């Protein structure tokens, strides 16, 4: 793995909203098929997932149930996107660009101070077991900022490995 440069937080973007960070993600859709602004779709999806949505249908249902509230800060000219639309959009997105935008936003809102505690912990994801002998449970290691009450980053442990091998990768990723 190559050493990643620490995230640079542009001073103008330090106070920017999540919408502005997601606006930096390139929209891969054809211009004429863009009925829903990408940054609005991404913020809607993030809100839904944080609140427990586990599928595109659940994201759509979450958005429809709270559409009036979402309209106060999202651009929704054609309403809440359908679960099929959400699936198509996420299938086309560059995951690295989305990850970078999200990490940059997290870096901007999580002001790390000297002496702050960053807790590192491993967890096994629920419902990640498929069948015995082929795919086992998914294990993740997360870094938690106690001062900001947020996850700063997480990495998946390698197959047939443990948290000890994933922790150095997580520390390097976060440049701690």
pLDDT digits (tens, 9 = 90+) for 56-69: 999 999 999 999 99
Q: Are 163 and 96 in a shared domain?
A: no
Q: Are 84 and 36 in a shared domain?
A: yes
Q: How much is the pLDDT for 10?
A: 47
How close are the terminal C-alpha atoms of the chain, in Å? 17
Q: Are 43 and 94 in a shared domain?
A: yes
- Calculate the CA 101 to chain-centre distance: 9
Q: Are 28 and 93 in a shared domain?
A: yes
Measured CA to CA, the distance from residue 130 to residue 41 in angstroms comes to: 30
Token reading at 17: 């909203």
Could you tell me whether strands 118-124 and 150-156 are parallel, antiparallel, or unpaired per DSSP bridges? unpaired
Residue of higher predicted confidence among 124 and 126: 124
The total number of structural domains in the chain stands at 2
Q: Are 102 and 153 in a shared domain?
A: no
Average of per-residue pLDDT across 132-154: 71
Confidence bin at 106 (pLDDT 50/70/90): confident
Q: Kindly state whether residue 126 falls inside one of the protein's structural domains.
A: yes
pTM above 0.85, yes or no: no
Residue 153: strand pairing partners: 143
Q: Are 71 and 141 in a shared domain?
A: no
Q: HSE on the CB side for 110, CA within 13 Å?
A: 23
Residue of higher predicted confidence among 2 and 118: 118
Nearest in space to 144 (alpha carbons), one of 166, 171, 121, 111: 121
Mean pLDDT for all residues in the chain: 78
Confidence bin at 153 (pLDDT 50/70/90): confident
Show the domain range for 146: 118-174
Q: Are 84 and 122 in a shared domain?
A: no
Among 64, 91, 109, which residue terminates a domain?
109
Q: Are 146 and 100 in a shared domain?
A: no
- Calculate the CA 70 to chain-centre distance: 19
Token reading at 165: 């091998």
Q: Kindly state whether residue 8 falls inside one of the protein's structural domains.
A: no
């Amino acid at each position: 793995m190559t050493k990643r440069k620490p995230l640079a937080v542009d001073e103008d973007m330090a106070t920017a909203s999540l919408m502005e960070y997601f606006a930096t993600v390139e929209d891969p859709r054809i211009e004429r098929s863009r009925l829903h602004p990408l940054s609005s779709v991404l913020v809607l999806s993030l809100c839904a997932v944080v609140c427990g949505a586990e599928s595109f249908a659940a994201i759509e249902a979450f958005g429809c149930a709270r559409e009036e509230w979402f309209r106060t800060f999202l651009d929704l000219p054609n309403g809440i996107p359908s679960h099929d639309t959400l699936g198509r959009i996420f299938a086309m997105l560059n995951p690295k660009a989305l990850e970078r935008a999200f990490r940059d936003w997290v870096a901007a809102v999580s002001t790390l101070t000297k002496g702050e505690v960053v807790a590192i912990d491993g967890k096994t994801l629920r419902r990640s077991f498929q069948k015995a002998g082929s795919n086992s449970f998914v294990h993740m290691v997360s870094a938690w900022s106690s001062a900001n009450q947020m996850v700063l980053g997480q990495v998946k442990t390698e197959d047939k490995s443990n948290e000890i091998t994933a922790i150095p990768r997580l520390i390097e990723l976060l440049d701690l």
